[in-house]
Amino acid sequence: MAKKITLRKRQNKILYTEFFATSILITLFTIIRLKLHPAIGILVALFSIFGIAYFFFQYRIFRYLFSLLFSLGWATGVFLIGQQIEITSNTTGWVLSIVAFAIAIWLHYDHFDFLRKTTVYEYERQ
């Protein structure tokens, strides 16, 4: 019996970009603010990127919390860029930050929707 199967590759680029950027920020904080050796900072970066990824994919509450925090981070960054575009008013920054927040939330939701609606098929290669 014929069965229609649609294959769609999961897109995680925004997630891995956020994990990497967060681990870089944590590393810079440990090196500059806590005055740790840069080699220890690199170890902190490795542990933080894998720790964030583990908690993100393992626990639903962290997934939603991280998604909200990452989306707020994107909105804050775009707000600062918007303030530099138009120095006399914050309107451009607020509009751009709302758009950036909405896009980031949508991209995270798209990933969660993909995980929720996926049916796993196992097969052996020949």
79-119: pLDDT as tens digits: 999 999 888 888 889 999 999 999 989 888 877 776 667 67
In this predicted structure, what is the pLDDT of residue 97? 94
- The pTM (predicted TM-score) of the whole model is 0.72
Question: Tens digits of per-residue pLDDT, 13-63?
Answer: 778 888 898 899 999 999 999 898 999 988 998 999 899 889 988 888 988
Amino acid found at 97: S
pLDDT at 60: 84
Cβ neighbours of residue 97 closer than 8 Å, sequence gap 6 or more: 75, 76, 78, 79, 82
Query: What is the model's pLDDT at position 57?
Result: 82
